[in-house]
Amino acid sequence: MPVKIVMPQLDLFMTEGTIVEWLKQNGDLVGEKEPIAVIETIKAAVEVEAPTSGTFYQQRLLGTSVPVGAIIATIFQTGEVIPSTMDAMTEQQIEEKSIQKGKKERERRVLASPLAKKIAKIHNIDLQQVTGTGRNGVITKSDIFSYIENNRENIREEDIIPLTGWRKTMADRMLHSVQTMAQLTTVTETDFTLLIELRKQLISKEKSQLSITAFIVKAVAEALKEYPLLNSSLRDGKIFIKKIRNIGVAVAREKQGLIVPVIRHADEKNIFELTQLLTDMVNRAREKKLSIKDITDGTFTITNVGMLGVTFNTPIINPPESAILGVGAIIKRPVVVDNKITIRSIAYLCLSYDHRFIDGTPAIQFLQKIKQLLQNPHSLIIN
């Protein structure tokens, strides 16, 4: 019996996904769990795997936004009759590619000087609408200025980006988060001086890289053992406290917002293992090679805005989680230690939490526990 592959739902708020790449062509033989497509959601561009082996056929065009649960492809088993509609789909895709190819070729045939192209881009002008007066019909800067003068009312002075796809999903998700939770942010300063020194010693000794974020992940995972209420979610009037500590770490994508790969059972891993996992997940996130498993089932999120030079933020909780930790930039500052002014490496830790059911006291104690672990980093190596 043919096996239908549907658009997966990666979280409670996902309503649709966009097919950004087909990894298999119609008629290809695929194996079970072999990647067949890349879909883009608010969380990431992730690979969809074949649920079984057989002959693969697409049922959606590239770039199509597909509702959750809708069919995107079919796998036929050996000996099964493949309907002629599948071949019709192939012809439709070929025609669509031909149209797109023709459009690109027409765009390439437009001749314009580099300066004219630059000016046209600034003013959002379609060069195909401009008549070139230069040699061999080349569009010059004067042609662009003439076009601007004659079409001033029709030229947009601003770029318009539709709030669709992952942007709309992100907007809906963040609005839902702040509208349904009583979010409160508590901040503390943390001294990273000893942690930085320990990291240098370990790198020199082990000849291996170590991530400061790995120490933070480890500290959060250990603190969640002592304060499990921060590792919970509120649904239908009930508090669900998770017994596993899956830590999501926000990663910035160029022009595509943040994604949150998840390190499963983070408390069971050492600093070196966490560093390797973080490096791998960041690379795959930016190369659009994350799997669905990589971005689901998180129980707590960390967003390290300090990597972008930001000293302080008030992060929005990633639902259905109940808390998120923002980490600011580590900056050398003069501070008072034992009644003496000295230079230390200081950063802000910002904890946002759902104040509907998490009181200030356990939240502050949880934050202080993270601070204590980071300021005494040898305990994280022992753990």
**CA atoms 6, 11, 16, 21: torsion sign:** negative
Cα 277 from chain centroid?
Answer: 16
Predicted TM-score (pTM) of this structure: 0.70
Give which of 142, 135, 147 is closest to 116, Cα–Cα.
142
Catalytic residues: 355, 359
From first to last of its 383 residues, the chain has per-residue pLDDT tens of: 889 999 888 776 677 888 888 899 888 999 998 989 888 776 567 888 899 999 998 888 777 788 888 999 999 988 787 777 666 555 555 555 555 555 555 555 678 887 888 888 888 888 888 988 987 788 998 998 898 888 876 666 667 777 766 677 778 888 889 999 999 999 999 999 999 999 999 998 888 889 999 999 999 999 999 999 999 999 999 999 999 999 999 988 766 667 889 999 999 999 999 999 999 998 888 887 788 888 889 999 999 999 888 999 999 999 999 999 999 999 999 999 999 999 999 999 999 999 999 999 999 999 999 999 999 999 998 75
Q: For residue 55, what are the contacts with CB-CB under 8 A and spacing of at least 6?
A: 27, 28, 29, 30, 75, 76, 77, 78, 82
Length of the chain: 383
Q: What is the pLDDT of residue 383?
A: 55
Q: For residue 364, what are the contacts with CB-CB under 8 A and spacing of at least 6?
A: 186
Alpha carbon distance 352, 315 (integer Å): 6
Q: What is the pLDDT of residue 163?
A: 76
Q: Spell out the domains of the chain, with CATH numbers in brackets.
A: 3-93 (2.40.50.100), 110-165 (4.10.320.10), 181-382 (3.30.559.10)
Q: Name the DSSP letter for residue 293.
A: G
Q: What is the pLDDT of residue 14?
A: 75
Give which of 44, 65, 48 is closest to 3, Cα–Cα.
48
Q: Name the DSSP letter for residue 228.
A: G
Burial class (CB in 10 A: 0-12, 13-18, 19+), 302: buried
Mapped onto helix, strand or coil, the DSSP state of residue 27 is coil
Q: For residue 85, what are the contacts with CB-CB under 8 A and spacing of at least 6?
A: none
Q: What is the pLDDT of residue 330?
A: 96
Three-state SS annotation for 295-348:
HCCCCEEEEEHHHHCCCCCCCCCCCCCCEEEEECCCEEEEEEECCEEEEEEEEE
Give which of 131, 99, 93 is closest to 112, Cα–Cα.
131
Give which of 27, 19, 36 is closest to 96, Cα–Cα.
19
Mapped onto helix, strand or coil, the DSSP state of residue 206 is helix
Q: What is the pLDDT of residue 104?
A: 56
Identify the H or E element spanning 20: strand 16-22
Strand partners, 263: 247
The pair of structure tokens assigned to 220 is 């959060």
Q: For residue 4, what are the contacts with CB-CB under 8 A and spacing of at least 6?
A: 71, 73, 74
